[in-house]
Amino acid sequence: MTMRPGLATLLAARHVCVVGATASSFAGTIAQRNLALHGFAGRVSQVHPTHRQVDGRVCVPTLADLDEAPDIALVLAPARVLPEVLTEAEAIGVPWAVIPGAGEADAGEQAAVVADFLRRPERTIRVIGPNCMGFVAPPEHLTPYIGTVPASLRPGCVAMLSQSGAVVEAFVTQGSRIGYRGLFSTGNEAHVTTEEIIEHLLDEGRTEVILLSQEGVGDPARYLRLLARAADADVRVGIVRVGRSRISQAAALTHTGAITGDWDLWARLARRQGAVVLDTLDELHEFGALAQSPRRPLSPRTWVVTNSGGQGSQIADVLADETHLDLPLPGPPHLAAFADAFPQAGRPSNPMDLWGLASWQRAYGEGIGLIAEHGGGGTLVVSIDAAPHQGQFEGELGAGIVRLACQAAQSRADWRVLHLAPLLAPPHPILREALDDTGCPSIRGAAGLHAYAGLVAPTGPRIPEEQIAGMQPAAAPGDRIGHEASLEILHRHGVVVPRTTVAATAAAAATAARSYRAPLVVKAIGPAHRAKVGGVALGLHPDDVAAVCERMSTIPGCTGFEIVEQVSADLELLVHLALDEQLGVRATLGVGGALTEQAGFAVCDLAPRTRAEAHDLLRRCVGAQVDDAGATWTAAVCDTLVAVAAAVRGGEASEIEINPLAIDRLQGRAVAIDVLARETAHD
């Protein structure tokens, strides 16, 4: 088997060839100009079948006409000739190709031909893309990239990865605020995946921050293991994932997919593995700028100093929903010391506006000193607006306050100082100089505050390895399983189900009902969502069954009747276990049975394997009333969740929904009332 080259060889490239170079196309010349601008010391060559010179450089007709094989072929050829070009590249020993988006290469029949060609096992060349922008590696001055890479982009410890080329382009063009190990546009990931790049970065040991903008995950188990590995190595990972507002994988039998989205579950799993999940690209950029700093905040204990009371209130509003942050109020010793220093001032709070108490030098020097002395450590956020368009005084004010804060915290290992610009504008040059001199990190606006909150947030318990090991492609759902057979699956796994009799006719149903004690329930067999069409009747006396069944027999799709003992309940839950196409078995739990679908609220997680995992899911769903993990009813629900998950995990069904699971908390019972299930399809 041919050994394919690793990413280390890609980043060590000394010869880049642009295939399809042409002066009539921006993409046909910009990569060469990027390489020259950023001081690439290796060789740059060009190939085009008809042009002999492009942008003042010699051009040869084919790759075979080169005197040596390049390390990277940046292929700008149309999709229809890509297989031919790559075959030629393989023949002369080219190890790497970068295939940007080329219009017709992105979708359609020709794109499918290219994808099939790229993924054949006999390929020896490896590919970044297709449908990407390329990549930029500032430490190596390497820019096989089809957008302008500005001279302001600088090397550093941050890596940025995105399947979307436009997202990488947005980060490339943001100037020198972040120093990059690399920016990678992975596109369709025909060969090189996000997971492979992350693993290489961790192995290499030169990256301290990883920024991910993702549309999907190809290998969830590997991805989640890498997030945990990064956290263990103190490599901070920030993630923005597409799909927050989109209805995710819809459940086949009910509307559970509309209740809890794929985004929510992925966010929870990523946080458990130590990553920071953010909402917007602005927040992701702020996270990168903050996390790269050696003086980044470490503690969620937060003091805020401003030069505006209204500004302080806005900061408090932004951080109000971050429940893990601690914004303490000054204690008695702090208040007493503040009153002695500023007897004319009112009662200080947090955020604290020190403007106007005295000269700014004294007000902020002594005020910040008192916070450092009495505040108990944490992060001191200094919010000062000193933008480039403001005057010299404002620049000196901002710089002076930052220097005072850093001096107060300099001898205290339990303090970090963080500058906040209220808006997204860059700092005044004088303030910028003070930030550079002191090593004080700086964030901008609400996006910066959210990035800070994410950086100091605690992580949840790691996902057990057995859960991760169970993540593999799921079989497609098969046909619907009959209700009686669905109940039998639950019964085999120890789930309590009500006594049920199936009858084909109204007369047979009436006869069966005489063996039940009132009240009882009659359900029509056949119609989906039968409660909505009048196919469920509750609280019946056996003598009422015949008439009720005669009426139900007129419902379209009705093929018979179920006679069921009516179960008392003071709590109902919707329980849904299903094979996820990537994550193994997923569990969804909602309060209220059918009402869950109307309310649109439920919790979702990996299916529990233990009572403890099930208890955590139940607590998140119904709140503090399950804090007593030893309560009989709680144990009954948890055991039901574990049992149903085991049935799906064992292949007895691709999905099982109980709606409702009726709970009698006084009696400590949990009974599966109405069950829908699907078979697991097999080839």
Q: Write out pLDDT tens, residues 55-80.
A: 888 999 999 999 999 999 999 988 88
Q: Which of 528, 461, 42 is nearest to 228 (CA)?
A: 461
Is 189 or 182 the better-scoring residue by pLDDT? 182
User: Token pair of 345, please?
Assistant: 């001032």
Q: For residues 68 and 94, give the distance between their C-alpha atoms in angstroms, rounded to a whole number.
A: 9
What b/e string do you get for 551-581 counting C-beta neighbours within 10 Å, with b at 16 or more?
ebeeeeebebbbbbebbebebbbbbbbbbbe
Q: Which residues lie closer than 8 Å to 665 by C-beta, 6 or more apart?
A: 570, 571, 631, 633
C-alpha to C-alpha distances, 328 to 366, 371, 417, 483, 646, nearest whole angstrom: 19, 11, 16, 56, 46
Which of 49-58, 277-286, 445-454, 536-545 shows the lowest per-residue confidence on average (mean pLDDT)? Answer: 49-58
Q: 278 in helix, strand or coil?
A: coil
Task: Count Cα atoms within 13 angstroms, Cβ side, for 272.
Answer: 18
Question: Which residues neighbour 285 within 8 Å (Cβ) at sequence distance 6 or greater?
Answer: 171, 174, 178, 211, 447
Q: DSSP H helical segments within 92-193, as ranges?
A: 109-118, 165-172
Distances (CA, A) of 175 to 142, 148, 154, 178, 439: 17, 12, 8, 8, 19
The total number of residues shown for the chain amounts to 683
Residues linked to residue 89 through DSSP beta bridges, in sequence order:
none
What span, in angstroms and rounded, lies between the C-alpha atoms of 202 and 84? 35
Q: pLDDT category, 355, cuts 50, 70, 90?
A: very high
Question: Three-state DSSP class for 587?
Answer: strand
- Percent of the chain residues past pLDDT 70, beyond the cut: 93
pLDDT tier at 511, thresholds 50, 70, 90: very high
Distance (Å, rounded) from C-alpha 638 to C-alpha 494? 12
Residue 472: its pLDDT value, please? 77
Of 90-104, 431-445, 575-589, highest mean pLDDT: 431-445
Structural domains present in the chain: 7-242 (3.40.50.720), 295-455 (3.40.50.261), 502-562 (3.30.1490), 571-680 (3.30.470.20)
- Gap between the Cα atoms of 165 and 146, Å rounded: 10
Residue 257 has pLDDT above 50, yes or no: no
Task: Provide the token pair at 306.
Answer: 């401003």
DSSP β-ladder status, 477-481 and 675-680: antiparallel
Residue closest to 313 by CA, chosen among 350, 343, 361: 350
8 Å CB contact between 181 and 159: yes
Lowest mean pLDDT, pick from 127-136, 456-465, 527-536 = 527-536
CA 18 to chain centre: 35
Looking at this protein, which amino acid is placed at residue 397?
Answer: L
The model's pLDDT over 635-680, given as tens digits with 9 standing for 90+, comes to 999 999 999 999 999 999 999 999 889 999 888 999 998 888 999 8
pLDDT score of 260 more than 60: no
Q: Rounded to 5, what percent of the chain is helix, strand, coil? A: 40, 25, 40
**CA 212, chain centre distance (Å):** 9
Please report the pLDDT score of residue 248 as a whole number: 35
Mean of per-residue pLDDT scores for the chain: 90
Q: What is the DSSP letter of 212?
A: E
Residue % of the chain over a pLDDT of 90: 70
Token digits of residue 435? 């930030």
Q: Is the pLDDT of residue 503 over 90?
A: yes
* 3-class SS of residue 621: helix
Least confident of 159-173, 476-490, 548-562: 476-490
Torsion of CA 215, 220, 225, 229, to 10 degrees: -10
Mean pLDDT for 519-525 is 93
Cβ atoms of 121 and 2 closer than 8 Å: no
**230 phi/psi in degrees, rounded to 5:** -65, -45
Instruction: With both helix axes pointing from N to C terminus, report the angle between 545-552 and 506-513 in degrees, rounded to the nearest 10.
Output: 150
Task: Please tell me the predicted confidence (pLDDT) of residue 250.
Answer: 39
Give the Cα separation of 354 and 361 in Å (integer).
Answer: 10
Sign of CA dihedral 642, 645, 647, 651: negative
Taking residues 316-325, report their average pLDDT.
Answer: 91
Position of tokens 């799921």? 474
pLDDT mean over 454-480: 87
Q: Coil, strand or helix: which one is 239?
A: strand
* Residue 33, CB-side half-sphere exposure with 13 Å CA sphere: 18
Q: What is the pLDDT at residue 249?
A: 39
Residue of 681, 611, 672 lying closest to 651 (CA atoms)? 681
User: CB count, 10 Å around CB of 143?
Assistant: 30
**What pLDDT is stored for residue 107 in this prediction?**
59
SS3 134: strand
SS3 readout for 65-117 = HCCCCCCEEEECCCHHHHHHHHHHHHHCCCCEEECCCCCCCCCCHHHHHHHHH
Model pLDDT, residue 103: 43
Tell me the residue type at 63. Answer: L
Question: Tell me, what's the pLDDT at 433?
Answer: 97
pTM exceeds cut of 0.85:
yes
Residue 630 banded pLDDT, cuts 50, 70, 90: low
* Distance between CA atoms of residues 315 and 311, nearest Å: 6
What is the mean pLDDT of the segment spanning 605-610? 94
